[in-house]
Structure 1
Amino acid sequence: MAEKDKPLLIKRYASRRLYNTETSDYVTLEDIASLIREGREVQIVDLKSGDDLTRQYLLQIIAEHESRGESVLPVDVLNDLVRSYMTPGSSVVPQFLQASFEMLRDGQSQMMDKMTAMNPMAKMPGFELMQAQQQAFMKAMTGGLGGGSGWSAPDKDEPAEDQESAEDLDAIKKQLAELQDKLSKLK
């Protein structure tokens, strides 16, 4: 198995600090969330007991995002999750959620493949940009769910990169406006 296919091992010390065994440094929950958004699988274990704490920390990441107003799940879904945990016996909700997210990831991949292979618009100028935007949108919609999103907060120590990102965004907006104009003329 390739190194990147194995989950990244994070060890939790008795002091509750989290240690990235790959980079040999301490990490925060936000660092772990960024790794997951980039597509990495992680496994968090207690150094002393060897207990797997991954689920606990992933739920904590979601809870922290929710507390900052970054809604991850609609309230109805959260209510249904609580109900499923409180229902005696085994619930089908975890298997359903897992299957749903697998279908979402597979559908995203198939959609992007078909957009490239069968779409007559593929020859249209700017199609690559539109496809990249679609991929970014799909990754944002599934961010942290195994597909990764690549979205992360900009590093405060990189103002030149922020300026480049702003210029790239302006260029993308301009190209999108041009595409919309061309499409409206085709109608």
Structure 2
Amino acid sequence: MAETGKPLLIKRYASRRLYNTETSDYVTLEDIAGFIRDGREVQIVDLKSGDDLTRQYLLQIIAEHESRGESVLPVAVLNDLVRSYMTGKVSVVPEFLQQSFSMLRDGQAKVMENMNSMNPLASMPGFDAMQAQQEAFIKAMTGGVAGGWPGAKPAEPAAEAAQSTEDLDAIKRQLAELQEKLSKLK
């Protein structure tokens, strides 16, 4: 994608088809969700009227994921959101949610930064593989909210990554434990 500083412009045609102006092709809601997971902001506008439809489509993406059983929002939170719309008073909920997600992203970035810089296990053989698994786990748990791992390092060359069978077995056990924990969370 060309420029990540400004939102990706998606135009909705009268036929309700969504058009990516950067790649000059049609996209689906799932494609848009993928752009967002990858850290890209999107703006969806009606071609004819120029109305901003971004909020409507983002809510539709959330509703579709929730209806498929990919529940992120507890029922109590959904009830509170509905209540905040129905009171007729100015609600602090939108600002609270925005600040909460901002704190979550910042906190996650700091945890990852600390794991990279101050971890005494960093010199342990196979640490890079474990670090990659942790990154994948956190990304899966947060749905990519944090964007990426600041300070993640590229993999070492193959010659340096060679390990003894014992180290590899330990990593496989840890991976199996992480996968087991992930399956229990679902």
Instruction: Confirm or deny a common fold (TM above 0.5).
Output: yes
Are the equivalent residues in 2 in contact too, given 1:142–1:148 (CA < 8 A)?
Answer: no
Question: Which amino acid counterpart does residue 86 of structure 1 have in structure 2?
Answer: M
TM normalised by structure 1 equals 0.76
- Once residues 89 and 46 of structure 2 are traced to their aligned partners in structure 1, the CA distance between those partners, rounded to angstroms, is 29
- 1:177 lines up with 2:169 in the alignment: no
1:137 Cα offset (Å) = 2.1
- Aligned partner of 2:17 in structure 1 is 17
Are the equivalent residues in 1 in contact too, given 2:7–2:40 (CA < 8 A)?
Answer: yes
Question: Which amino acid counterpart does residue 175 of structure 1 have in structure 2?
Answer: I
Aligned CA distance change for structure 1 residues 142 and 180 (closer, same or farther; 3 Å): closer
Question: Could you list the per-position Cα deviations for residues 7-58 of structure 1 after superposition, in whole angstroms to 9, with x for gaps in the alignment?
Answer: 1000001111100001101111111111111111110001111111001000
- 16-25 vs 75-84, which moves further: 75-84
- Once residues 25 and 179 of structure 1 are traced to their aligned partners in structure 2, the CA distance between those partners, rounded to angstroms, is 39
- Aligned partner of 2:159 in structure 1 is none
- 1:107 lines up with 2:123 in the alignment: no
- Once residues 44 and 118 of structure 1 are traced to their aligned partners in structure 2, the CA distance between those partners, rounded to angstroms, is 42
Question: Could you list the per-position Cα deviations for residues 34-92 of structure 1 after superposition, in whole angstroms to 9, with x for gaps in the alignment?
Answer: 11111111100011111110010000001111111111211111111111111222111
- Once residues 134 and 40 of structure 1 are traced to their aligned partners in structure 2, the CA distance between those partners, rounded to angstroms, is 22
- Aligned partner of 2:156 in structure 1 is none
Question: Which amino acid counterpart does residue 140 of structure 1 have in structure 2?
Answer: A
* Root mean square deviation of aligned Cα: 2.4
Mind listing any 5+ residue stretches in structure 1 that lack a counterpart?
Answer: 150-171, 182-187
Mind listing any 5+ residue stretches in structure 2 that lack a counterpart?
Answer: 149-167, 178-186
Aligned CA distance change for structure 1 residues 26 and 119 (closer, same or farther; 3 Å): same
- 1:138 lines up with 2:138 in the alignment: yes
1:142 Cα offset (Å) = 2.3
Give the number of equivalent residue pairs: 157
Aligned CA distance change for structure 1 residues 173 and 3 (closer, same or farther; 3 Å): farther
Aligned CA distance change for structure 1 residues 76 and 179 (closer, same or farther; 3 Å): closer
Q: Percent identity?
A: 76
- 17-26 vs 76-85, which moves further: 76-85
1:180 Cα offset (Å) = 9.3
Are the equivalent residues in 2 in contact too, given 1:126–1:179 (CA < 8 A)?
Answer: no
User: 1:57-68 alignment to 2 at 5 Å?
Assistant: 57-68=57-68
Greater RCO (Cα-Cα under 8 Å, separation 6 or more):
1
Question: Which amino acid counterpart does residue 15 of structure 1 have in structure 2?
Answer: S
Are the equivalent residues in 2 in contact too, given 1:62–1:72 (CA < 8 A)?
Answer: no
- Aligned partner of 2:39 in structure 1 is 39
